[in-house]
């Protein structure tokens, strides 16, 4: 939130009080507390009639410092709170007349007693600091207070906000904030943490995460489910500022020598993804949104894939498995699907898993709506006139109140009915259009619940699948997310369009998302809106099959490849075959994701933070630590890509070897692309190119990046059920690559 007019002047609608002195500092449990008046207290009289802020610095985990800024310490916002896992480092606090110093883990916090400026240091370097007019309390739209008799006596008449600003260094780059489709480096942007259904071509986002990290080895998480507003060098160009409504601001600073360390610390606090089944990495095919379909149509698409020898793991039923005007009452359209259990059994016999679309909204005029209204399972109107209903998706739709334990159990029962019928996983669409003129069962603040709602929604569905299928077998295809939603994978990128521009913005959004604590991500191959050209379809297929998860889905037309041209079928088969062979490499990365929160698809800066050439790259990425992927974004087949310095890079598809530290421009046909293995590493390759679940240890081979004679390279490979592992060693002997399983 911008509160200034230039650097020196505040907006006339804002009265600000800034921390100006560390008047007292005292140790508290796991940290220290600073009392910070808005002006220095030099005499006894100075201590009257002033605003005082309180700042707590506390160790919350290893290399995780929690900061809480209070104005009114007795304030209770009513906001839902993220579940945080704390495990403090030992803390040492030293206080003198000049400064207060707190050490925890590798981080040192130093507070200047005279000015209340504070700084964070680690690894012998300054991370960031907060100084002159950087920590404050804002009274917005303040009106005069009456001290006369009558209504309004001594009544506050302003909107309270808490503010913190943290310094930036020259050339420091800011990343994260969830899946944002604006420029990848967030410097110069205003970022509003507010869920909205805005597609992939706007500044609003489905997945808003109040977390960012920078190229200077630290990350910041604002622990608020409410609307958080970030100014990323967009108000004061020398800092990032963040504001939240209310009388309290909580945030965390994480330190790491590399980006993976920061993500590890952040996800230790907010949660890490559960393991997911290996079959989920295969190809997903959807009915698409608008085209009509029944069992005959669906079977025809599946048989078309079989005829062309294109491996398929999951078939997805989108919205119209439900009856028109009845979404989402969990009742199959009997006219189109008269034998649901038999149909799903027949698809299972073909080796397929089944996904079904849902959302948390219930249209009126059906039995589920009547039951929810009768039992009090929906959000209620703030004016007291019954259930909150809107028409902007389904007629008179109500929203499930997931703060009500009985409503959660009721909704989970609907999920179980799908699972019992033969559905294996769920696409949890929507969760962003949550009104704020409502009343929640548990009394939560409805404005703060707007962002938080998705966490309760997706948790309810994921945990029910997990109860039914077992640990490691639950998977979603979710659109909305907030902090902590990474525990319930997978997420996809929302409504993109069938253009190269939209393909690029989709990747940009995904890389921001994967910089925000999430390990898995997918997108609609060839775009959701409109229909791609055969050229774009084939290029997006390459990108999609080299993402963690791969789905063919669209709005107006089916996305089966032969609709585009038969070469599209060949390209799709080629890259599905490749992904199946990559499964020993890909699935083993899920262990790292589960244990440390590390994403499978990694922005270039994530793996090469010391290479300045990687800082702003957003049209290429690393798939794991060893494989560089640079999708092609034009109809000339031209690949433009940067290879990081200090390595040789070998193309997995054609064997070309290139030196790192420079840009390249190459032309590729539809069966090739920039796909490079880093020197000194190798990719374990499975023997099965038609399945994602198989014996990864059997007949294992490897593709190495510029191996050196006699130098051993090691990698752990896990079995497809995650229960066994083996150490694989690759070594070049007499010019031939030798593979040894542990």
Burial letters for 196-220: b for 16+ Cβ neighbours within 10 Å, e otherwise? bbebbbeebbbbbbbbbbbbbbbbb
Strands (E), 295-441: 314-317, 353-358, 361-362, 380-381, 389-390, 397-399, 425-428, 438-439
* β partners of residue 378: 400
Contact call for residues 729 and 713 (beta carbons, < 8 A): yes
Contact call for residues 211 and 176 (beta carbons, < 8 A): yes
> For residue 692, which of 346, 312, 424 has the smallest C-alpha distance?
312
The DSSP 8-state label assigned to residue 366 in this structure reads: S
* β partners of residue 701: 685
> For residue 213, which of 592, 602, 491, 487 has the smallest C-alpha distance?
602
481 vs 491: CA distance, rounded Å: 8
Angle at 607 between CA 526 and CA 186, to 5 degrees: 65
Q: Which of 235, 261, 432, 505 is catalytic?
A: 432
Query: Which H or E run includes 9?
Result: strand 9-10
The helix-helix angle for 340-349 and 295-307 (nearest 10°) equals 0
337 vs 342: CA distance, rounded Å: 10
Angle at 198 between CA 196 and CA 202, to 5 degrees: 120
60 vs 86: CA distance, rounded Å: 5
CA torsion angle 373 374 375 376 (round to 10): 40
Judge whether 339 counts as a catalytic residue: no
User: What are 325's two structure tokens?
Assistant: 């005007």
Q: What is the pLDDT, as a whole number, of residue 147?
A: 83
Contact call for residues 690 and 580 (beta carbons, < 8 A): yes
Q: Residue ranges of the domains in the chain?
A: 4-145+152-270, 595-741
Q: What is the pLDDT, as a whole number, of residue 492?
A: 98
Length of the chain: 742
527 vs 540: CA distance, rounded Å: 8
pLDDT digits (tens, 9 = 90+) for 16-32: 999 999 999 999 999 99
Q: What is the pLDDT, as a whole number, of residue 165?
A: 98
Q: What is the pLDDT, as a whole number, of residue 155?
A: 83
Is the fold of 4-145+152-270 the same as that of 595-741?
yes
Q: What is the pLDDT, as a whole number, of residue 153?
A: 86
Contact call for residues 630 and 672 (beta carbons, < 8 A): no
Q: Which residues of the chain have pLDDT under 70?
A: none
Q: Tokens 């190798």 map to which residue?
A: 682
DSSP output for 490-533: -BB----BSSHHHHHHHHHHHHHHTTTT----B-EET-SBS---
Q: Which of 429, 445, 464, 505 is catalytic?
A: 429
83 vs 335: CA distance, rounded Å: 44
Sign of the Cα pseudo-torsion (404, 406, 410, 415, in order): positive
Q: Which of 121, 231, 495, 592 is catalytic?
A: 495
The helix-helix angle for 583-596 and 259-270 (nearest 10°) equals 60
91 vs 738: CA distance, rounded Å: 50
> For residue 522, which of 501, 496, 498, 499 has the smallest C-alpha distance?
496
477 vs 521: CA distance, rounded Å: 9
302 vs 312: CA distance, rounded Å: 8
What CATH topology corresponds to 4-145+152-270? Immunoglobulin-like (2.60.40)
Please state the separation of Cα 360 from the chain's center in Å: 20
Burial letters for 458-490: b for 16+ Cβ neighbours within 10 Å, e otherwise? bbbbbbbbbebeeebbbbbbbbbbbbbbbbbbb
Q: What is the 3-state secondary structure (H, E, C) of 38-86?
A: CCCCCCHHHHCCCCEEEEEEEEEECCEEEEEEECCCCCCCCCCCCCCCC
Angle at 358 between CA 354 and CA 359, to 5 degrees: 160
Q: What is the pLDDT, as a whole number, of residue 235?
A: 96
User: What are 193's two structure tokens?
Assistant: 């943490």
Q: What is the CA radius of gyration of the chain?
A: 27
675 vs 668: CA distance, rounded Å: 11
Q: What is the pLDDT, as a whole number, of residue 660?
A: 98
State the distance between the two ends of the chain, measured CA to CA, in whole angstroms.
56
143 vs 455: CA distance, rounded Å: 37
Pick the CATH number of 595-741 from 2.60.40.1180, 3.30.1490.20, 1.25.40.90, 1.20.910.10: 2.60.40.1180
Query: Which H or E run includes 550?
Result: strand 550-552
Please state the separation of Cα 548 from the chain's center in Å: 13
Judge whether 495 counts as a catalytic residue: yes
């Amino acid at each position: 939130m911008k509160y200034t007019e230039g650097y020196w002047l505040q907006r006339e609608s804002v009265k600000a009080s800034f921390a100006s002195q560390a008047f007292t500092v005292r140790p508290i449990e796991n940290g220290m507390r600073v009392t910070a008046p808005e002006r220095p207290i030099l005499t006894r009289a100075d201590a009257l009639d002033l605003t005082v802020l309180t700042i707590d610095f506390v160790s919350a985990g290893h290399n995780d410092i929690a900061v809480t800024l209070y104005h009114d310490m007795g304030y209770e916002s009513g906001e839902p709170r993220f579940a945080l896992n704390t495990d403090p480092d030992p803390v040492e606090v030293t206080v003198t007349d000049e400064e207060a110093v707190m050490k925890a883990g590798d981080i040192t916090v130093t507070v200047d007693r005279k000015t209340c400026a504070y700084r964070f240091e680690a690894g012998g370097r300054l991370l960031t600091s907060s100084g002159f007019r950087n920590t404050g309390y804002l009274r917005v739209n303040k009106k005069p207070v009456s001290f006369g008799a009558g209504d309004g006596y001594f009544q506050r008449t302003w909107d309270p906000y808490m503010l913190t600003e943290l310094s930036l260094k020259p050339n420091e780059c800011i990343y994260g904030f969830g899946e944002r489709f604006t420029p990848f480096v967030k410097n110069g942007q205003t970022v509003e943490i507010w869920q909205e259904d805005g597609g992939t071509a706007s500044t609003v986002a489905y997945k808003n995460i109040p977390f960012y990290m920078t190229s200077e080895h630290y990350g910041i998480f604002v622990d608020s489910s409410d609307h958080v507003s970030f100014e990323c060098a967009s108000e004061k160009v020398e800092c990032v500022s963040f504001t939240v409504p209310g009388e309290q601001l909580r945030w965390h600073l994480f330190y790491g020598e590399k980006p993976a360390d920061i993500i590890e610390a952040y996800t230790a606090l907010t949660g890490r993804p559960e393991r997911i089944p290996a079959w989920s990495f295969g190809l997903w095919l959807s009915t698409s949104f608008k085209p009509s379909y029944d069992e005959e149509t669906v079977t025809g698409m599946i048989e078309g894939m079989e005829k062309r020898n294109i491996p398929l793991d999951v078939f997805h039923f989108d919205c119209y498995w439900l009856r028109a005007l009845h979404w989402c009452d969990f009742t199959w359209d009997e006219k189109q699907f008269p034998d649901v259990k038999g149909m799903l059994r027949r698809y299972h016999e073909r080796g397929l898993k089944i996904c079904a679309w849902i959302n948390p909204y219930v249209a009126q005029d059906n039995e589920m709506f009547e039951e929810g209204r009768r039992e009090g399972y929906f959000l209620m109107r703030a004016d007291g006139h019954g259930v909150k209903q809107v028409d902007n998706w389904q007629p008179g739709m109500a929203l499930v109140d997931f703060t009500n334990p009985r409503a959660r159990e009721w909704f989970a029962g609907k999920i179980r009915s799908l699972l019992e019928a033969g559905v294996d996983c769920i696409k949890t669409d929507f969760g962003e259009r949550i009104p704020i003129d409502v009343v929640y069962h548990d009394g939560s603040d409805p404005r703060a619940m707007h962002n938080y709602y998705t966490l309760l929604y997706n948790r309810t569905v994921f945990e029910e699948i997990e109860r039914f299928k077992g640990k490691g077998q639950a998977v979603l295809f979710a659109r909305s997310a907030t902090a902590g939603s990474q525990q319930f994978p997978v997420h996809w990128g929302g409504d993109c369009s069938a253009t190269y521009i939209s393909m690029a913005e989709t990747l940009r959004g995904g890389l921001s998302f994967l910089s925000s604590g999430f390990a898995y991500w997918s997108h609609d191959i060839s775009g959701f809106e409109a229909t791609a050209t055969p050229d774009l379809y084939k290029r997006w297929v390459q990108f999609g099959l080299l993402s963690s998860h791969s789905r063919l889905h669209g709005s107006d037309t089916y996305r089966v490849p032969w609709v585009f041209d038969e070469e599209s079928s060949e390209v799709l088969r080629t890259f599905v075959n490749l992904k199946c062979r990559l499964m020993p490499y890909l699935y083993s990365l899920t262990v790292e994701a589960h244990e440390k929160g590390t994403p499978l698809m990694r922005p270039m800066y994530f793996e090469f933070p010391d290479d300045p050439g990687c800082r702003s790259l957003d049209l290429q990425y690393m798939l794991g630590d060893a494989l560089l992927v640079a999708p092609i974004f034009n109809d000339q087949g031209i690949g433009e890509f940067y290879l990081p310095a200090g390595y040789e890079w070998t193309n997995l598809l054609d064997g070309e070897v290139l030196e790192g530290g420079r840009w390249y421009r190459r032309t590729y046909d539809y069966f090739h692309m920039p796909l490079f293995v880093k020197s000194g590493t190798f990719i374990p390759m499975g023997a099965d190119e038609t399945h994602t679940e198989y014996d990864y240890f059997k007949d294992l081979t490897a593709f190495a990046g510029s191996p050196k004679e006699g130098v051993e390279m090691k990698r752990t490979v896990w079995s497809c059920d995650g229960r066994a592992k083996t150490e694989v060693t690759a070594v070049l002997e007499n010019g031939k690559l030798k593979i040894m399983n542990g």
